[in-house]
């Protein structure tokens, strides 16, 4: 896989929890490590506009295909996609890179994994940035009090079924998934070439079931005895025209942060990193480079 304009990308395979995780990497090997986590239904390609600016700023950038996505392994069973396991994957990548401390940036599901990584491994994670992704406990509590958010999340209930969601998402050359990207973002944000790459990733045997298993596993999520307050410096970026997630989720998530900042990106959708890649890259570099 070669991305136009990114000929210097390195392709690495990490081993975590019995699964091979493919990732792309750039930047100096001795630079501060930042791990970029994509969401549904993307893969590491979703960070293509942000890797170079971070690498040029001196960071060691690693963007994995999270388990179940892209070229990474797709273990069977819902239990293989619990938040504890997904966060452990992130830690395994950081450890393999030789980083005692590291930063994480996550969007959508990648943001939820980023939140949980910060909570599970507070001594390892230095700074946290999330884009349109709620703190996992804040998300549940907020949805119970706000019926409109539950209506926006109707598809999560559908995804709990077995077989039918896979068929619905694949029919018509993945028409629903293409609509989830192109139909909810600014016009022209997702090009034909982008959708071709995504369709290739979705068509890999087992991919759709693995991607849906993230939703199925979250139904079983329990925070247990984990301290729910994020102690690391945290930046929340939120496109306020997200049709999936209300802005109130961002405010609710901020309450779980000891040292957090929320930036409302007016007019941006759920896909703010694609609609304003320069703005997002500038925010990431500025926040991670701050003293």
User: Six-digit token pair at 40?
Assistant: 């549904």
* Active-site residue, 274 included: no
* Active-site residue, 108 included: yes
Q: Which of 108, 142, 194, 242 is catalytic?
A: 108
Rounded Cα distance, 207 and 166, in Å: 9
Pick from 74, 13, 16: nearest CA to 212: 74
Output DSSP code: residue 34.
E
Whole-Å CA distances, 56 to 26, 38, 59, 157, 237? 9, 21, 7, 42, 22
Q: Which of 45, 69, 198, 215 is catalytic?
A: 215
* Active-site residue, 11 included: no
Rounded Cα distance, 28 and 15, in Å: 22
Is cis: bond before 43, omega within 30 of 0? no
Q: Taking the C-alpha atoms of 209, 15, 112 and 268 in order, what is their torsion angle to the nearest 10 degrees?
A: -80
Judged by phi (left if over 0) then psi (alpha if -120 to 50, else beta), residue 188 lies in left
- Do residues 43 and 208 make contact, with C-beta atoms less than 8 angstroms apart? no
Pick from 117, 158, 155, 152: nearest CA to 136: 117
- Do residues 249 and 225 make contact, with C-beta atoms less than 8 angstroms apart? no
Q: What separation, in Å, do the N-terminal and C-terminal C-alpha atoms of the chain show? A: 36
* Catalytic positions, written as ranges: 108, 215, 270
């Amino acid at each position: 896989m070669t991305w136009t304009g990114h000929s210097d990308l390195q392709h690495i395979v990490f081993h975590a929890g019995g699964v091979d995780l493919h990732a792309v990497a750039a930047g100096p090997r001795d630079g501060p490590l930042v791990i970029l986590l994509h969401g549904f239904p993307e893969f590491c390609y979703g960070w293509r506009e942000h890797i170079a600016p971070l690498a040029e700023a001196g960071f060691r950038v690693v963007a994995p295909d999270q388990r179940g996505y892209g070229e990474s392994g797709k273990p069977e069973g819902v239990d293989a996609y619990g938040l504890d396991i997904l966060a452990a994957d992130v830690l395994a990548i950081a450890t393999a890179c030789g980083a005692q401390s590291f930063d994480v940036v996550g969007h959508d599901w990648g943001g939820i994994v980023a939140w949980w990584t910060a909570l599970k491994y507070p001594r390892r994670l230095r700074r946290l940035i999330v884009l349109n992704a709620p703190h996992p406990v804040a998300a549940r509590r907020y949805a119970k009090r706000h019926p409109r958010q539950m209506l926006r999340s109707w598809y999560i209930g559908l995804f709990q079924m077995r077989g039918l969601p896979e068929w619905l998402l694949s029919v018509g050359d993945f028409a629903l998934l293409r609509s989830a990207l192109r139909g909810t973002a600014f016009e022209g944000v997702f090009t034909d070439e982008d959708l071709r790459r995504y369709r290739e990733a979705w068509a890999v045997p087992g991919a759709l079931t693995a991607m849906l298993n993230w939703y199925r596993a979250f139904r079983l999520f329990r925070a247990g005895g984990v301290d729910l307050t994020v102690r690391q410096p945290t930046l929340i970026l939120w496109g306020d025209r997200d049709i999936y997630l209300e802005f109130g989720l961002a405010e609710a998530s901020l309450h779980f942060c000891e040292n957090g900042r929320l930036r409302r990106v007016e007019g941006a959708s759920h896909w703010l990193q694609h609609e304003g890649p320069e703005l997002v890259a500038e925010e990431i570099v500025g926040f991670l480079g701050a003293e």
